[in-house]
């Protein structure tokens, strides 16, 4: 895993004679939607409904339709989405199993929810949760599993859900890198008890700041999440449970509505760029990421493994092509998450 290098998915821009491929090019995307974004921001400023305003409700409704779920609750980040989802289903005080190879936010959220993270290894084939490790990591204290649809490819959810059912565990998808991805035709975020999304600016669906969202079909979770994200407030100044300031910002929701309408098209472009990379890398004897038969990946990241990562990165850099490592340090090896890692 540590030899992975991520090649950019963004557009090619010409700088005099050199061709530069930046890792992310948010400005190019902004140019395409500039007038709509400015009008949407202006509408919010005119209305002044900055907190849980109209655009939040509209975006939530559009996201439920997009994902094929009953409820969507906009929150302040992907990390908060996972924390609140764990709190809504009462997973605190127990162990929560996720993967060692994920963004640190997944594990932070578990710790912040006062649960104990248990980290398992990923498959070297598709970089997602190794289900044999998952089974071995389950104990009487396990409350929930947080599979991460890493790099935009969904985890093989049917066998995972079968394991969860057998052990009576709640499953919360970390879909923070998988907006619009499909598992056997169904969208990431609609496959388990709850799904968590991040709208960090560089995501496939990114805000112009922080944002997140939780999807669910469960009305009890949905109403608890609505309380938790907003100081436990049922009606004005009536706080029925302890909550926090964890709402999705109205301005961000207004921007996200514009981007959501284009997401399937943008994802289709990523998929065709990925196919092109894979086809060309094959000619060099380098294998691209494996897209599993159950998955329609949205290639949030295009990650390959090579024998000499640093040499490849140096070469790419000389050609003006940026790359990254996702992730240089597995979360289980950070000194502030002293966790059991299965399979390491």
Ligand X SMILES: Cc1ncc(COP(=O)(O)O)c(C=O)c1O
Nearer to ligand X, 106 or 126 (CB): 106
Q: Which stretch binds ligand X (CB under 6 A): 8-16, 67-75, 100-108, 227-235?
A: 100-108
177 binds ligand X (CB under 6 A): yes
- CB-CB neighbours of 53 under 10 Å: 20
Site residues for ligand X, 4-43, by CB under 6 A, read none
Contact with ligand X (CB under 6 A) among 4, 94, 105, 330: 105
The first and second tokens of residue 256, run together, are 């996200």
Min CB(208)–ligand X separation in Å: 13
What 8-state DSSP symbol labels residue 332?
A: G
Which residues have a Cβ under 8 Å from the Cβ of 337 and sit 6 or more positions away?
107, 111, 117, 119, 331
**Looking at beta carbons only, is 116 or 177 nearer to ligand X?**
177
Q: How far is the CB of 67 from ligand X (least distance, A)?
A: 17
Residue nearest to ligand X (CB): 78
Q: Which residues fall within 8 angstroms of residue 20, CB to CB, at 6 or more apart? A: 12, 13, 14, 320, 321
Structure-derived torsion over alpha carbons of residues 155, 159, 160, 161, reported in degrees to the nearest 10 = 120
β strands within the chain, DSSP E: 4-7, 13-15, 18-20, 71-75, 95-99, 116-120, 142-145, 170-174, 182-183, 186-187, 194-198, 212-216, 233-235, 238-239, 295-296, 302-305, 323-324, 341-342
The answer to whether the beta carbons of residues 171 and 145 sit under 8 Å apart is yes
Tokens of 305: 């493994």
Piece of the chain touching ligand X by CB under 6 A; list 9-17, 40-48, 76-84, 155-163: 76-84
Shortest Å, Cβ 198 to ligand X: 3
In the bound state with ligand X, the residue whose beta carbon lies nearer, of 66 and 200, is: 200
Binding region for ligand X (CB under 6 A) out of 6-14, 36-44, 102-110, 238-246: 102-110
CA gap 218, 193 in Å, rounded: 7
Minimum CB separation from ligand X for residue 174, in Å? 5
Place of tokens 């998929």: 271
User: If binding is defined by CB under 6 A, does position 77 make contact with ligand X?
Assistant: yes
From residue 170, alpha-carbon distances to 23, 54, 95, 99 in Å are: 36, 32, 11, 16
Residue with smaller CB distance to ligand X, 21 or 99 = 99
Decide whether 223 or 244 has the Cβ nearer to ligand X: 244
The count of chain residues that interact with ligand X, using the rule CB under 6 A, is 15
With respect to ligand X, which residue has the nearer C-beta, 224 or 326? 326
In the complex, the smallest distance separating the C-beta of residue 108 from ligand X, rounded to whole angstroms, is: 8
Q: How far is the CB of 16 from ligand X (least distance, A)?
A: 34
Select the residue interacting with ligand X from 63, 71, 183, 200 (CB under 6 A). 200
Query: Does 212 interact with ligand X (rule: CB under 6 A)?
Result: yes
**Residue 79 interacting with ligand X (CB under 6 A):** yes
Cα–Cα dist 202/216, whole Å: 24
Choice from 6, 64, 198, 252 touching ligand X (CB under 6 A): 198
Among 78, 117, 289, 330, binds ligand X (CB under 6 A): 78
Q: Does residue 288 belong to the site contacting ligand X (CB under 6 A)? A: no
First to last CA, the chain: 11
Give the count of beta carbons closer than 10 Å to the beta carbon of residue 93: 11
Q: Which is nearer to ligand X, 105 or 243 (CB)?
A: 105
What tokens does 246 get? 């964890």
Please, which of residues 137-176 interact with ligand X by CB under 6 A? 148, 174, 176
Among 103, 127, 277, 302, binds ligand X (CB under 6 A): 103
Pairing of β 302-305 and β 4-7: antiparallel
Site residues (vs ligand X, CB under 6 A):
77-79, 102-103, 105-106, 148, 174, 176-177, 198, 200, 210, 212
């Amino acid at each position: 895993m540590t030899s992975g290098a991520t090649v950019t998915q963004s557009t090619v821009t010409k700088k005099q004679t050199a061709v530069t491929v930046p890792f992310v090019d948010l400005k190019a995307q902004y140019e395409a939607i500039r007038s709509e974004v400015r009008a949407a921001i202006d509408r919010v400023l005119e209305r002044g409904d900055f907190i849980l305003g109209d655009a939040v409700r509209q975006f939530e409704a559009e996201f439920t339709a997009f994902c094929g779920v009953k409820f969507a609750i906009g929150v302040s980040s992907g990390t908060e989405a996972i924390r609140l989802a764990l709190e809504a289903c009462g997973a605190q005080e127990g162990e929560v199993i996720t993967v060692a190879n994920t963004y640190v936010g997944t594990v932070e959220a578990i710790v912040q929810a006062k649960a104990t993270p248990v980290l398992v290894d990923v498959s070297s084939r598709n970089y997602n949760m190794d289900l044999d490790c998952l089974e071995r990591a389950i104990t009487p204290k396990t409350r929930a599993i947080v599979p991460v649809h890493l790099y935009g490819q969904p985890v093989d959810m049917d066998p995972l859900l079968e394991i969860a059912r057998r052990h009576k565990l709640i499953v919360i998808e970390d879909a923070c890198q998988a907006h619009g991805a499909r598992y056997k035709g169904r969208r990431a975020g609609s496959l388990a008890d709850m799904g968590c999304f991040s709208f960090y600016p560089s995501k496939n669906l990114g805000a112009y700041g922080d944002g997140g969202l939780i999807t669910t079909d469960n009305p009890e979770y949905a109403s608890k999440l609505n309380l938790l994200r907003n100081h436990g407030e049922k009606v004005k100044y009536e706080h029925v449970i302890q909550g926090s300031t964890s709402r999705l910002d109205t301005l961000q929701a207004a921007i996200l509505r514009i981007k959501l309408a284009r997401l399937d098209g943008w994802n289709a472009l990523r998929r065709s760029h990925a196919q092109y990379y894979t086809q060309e890398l094959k000619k060099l004897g380098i294998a691209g990421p494996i897209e599993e038969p159950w998955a329609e990946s949205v290639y949030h990241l295009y990650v390959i493994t090579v024998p000499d990562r640093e040499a490849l990165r140096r070469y790419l850099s000389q050609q003006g092509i940026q790359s990254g490592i996702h992730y240089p340090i597995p979360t289980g090896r950070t000194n502030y998450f002293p966790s059991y890692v299965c399979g390491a």
